[in-house]
Each structure stands twice: as structure tokens, then as C-alpha cells.
Amino acid sequence: MQAVGKVQIVYADTEIVIVNKPGGLLSVPGKGSDKVDSVATRLRMIFSDMIDQPAVHRLDMYTTGLMVYARTREAHRNLSIQFEKRSIQKKYIAVVERRLTRNSGKICLPFRLDVNNRPLQIYDPVQGKTGITLWKKLSCDSSTSRIEFAPLTGRTHQLRVHSAHRLGLHAPIVGDSLYGSGSDGDDMLLCAVSLGLLHPESKRWMRFDLAPNF
């Protein structure tokens, strides 16, 4: 791995860059001069030919793990279609705030943005769009459980909402300051540990895996 600031480059070629995003860094620039620093911004400083908007998906600021960025418009279009068709495979590891009695399951929960309390997402069976997540328990102790998530959709805050809501796991992710008992700036124990995709140019299936740091 090559280090770029706090960002680790896992793989790079002329079409795509795979990174291991650290917690506390935005995936893309936000609004305001204090939110310019991001993975996308740092990569464009390294790869001078990278397109202006290279992101095809995002991880929340305090989520860590694997992301893919496009270097060309053609790669961006191809990867966006793969995400739209749900052909890209993703897995996450998380630690949640409760000892779970169930071992696995499927969460189908409709939610939407709370326009009066951005960026909070709220359960709404009428106007919400359904997020779908497969999960299984890997281990547990007296007060927490280690979970593997396989999201089938890519809604904003999906895993965080599905973890915290009473109709989901009813167990917020450890360190989540929005849906759990964490404080702003805490390490959130959620990591994107596996990413599988078709290379936009060669059409070769590629899979990347890493171990979380918790």
C-alpha cells in the first residue's frame, strides 16, 4: 500500500483507484472552506489527470474502509451503472451496542432524510425508500456484538439506521454520534472490508479485502 497523507492507496491504474479511507476524512468535499479536504481532493493532487468528480459512492466521514474512485469519465459511467444495477459487492464489519440473540437476518426498512434535522435519516413507511441489508453475527460479549453487513442497496446512512432502529437490530453502532451514544469525533466502529467489481476497461472481476482496525 502507498500512503497519501492518511489515505492508503490499495490499487491504482489508468482507470480506477482503490483506497482505504480513514475515519474523520470526508469522501468528497463538503460545502464551505473548512470541508475542502477529502479523499477525492487528495487523490486529485496525486493523479493530475483524474476527473473533477471522481467519486461513484461515499462512506460517511467516520466510516473507514474500501472505496473506488474513477480516473476517467468512461470509468465513472461504467462504475455508476454497476452500482445502479447492484452488481458491485460490498461487505462491512461493525460493532454494535448490544449483545444480539439472533445470529443472522435481513433488514428491509424504509427511511428518508429528516429535512428539519439534516443529515438525520428517519423511518417513514409512507414516503421513505426501502434499504435492504443482510447481516450475520460474528461474535459477541456481554454488551456488544460484532456484525458482518452485506448491503443490497446503498442508501445514505443505511447501515447506521438499520443498526439503530427498533425495527432493525435495535443496536446502534459503537461510536455513532447521530444514531447512538457516541460523541462527535468518536471513532465509529464501522469499516468497509470487502469490495468486488468489474474493472471498467478490462471487464475483469476484482475483489479487495482488508481487516478492520478494531
What positions carry a catalytic annotation?
60
Q: What is the amino acid identity at position 172?
A: P
The torsion angles phi and psi of 26, rounded to 5 degrees, stand at -65, 150
The torsion angles phi and psi of 87, rounded to 5 degrees, stand at -90, -15
Strand partners, 104: 136
The three grid cell numbers given for residue 104, joined into one nine-digit string: 443472522
Contact (CB, 8 A) for 18 and 78? no
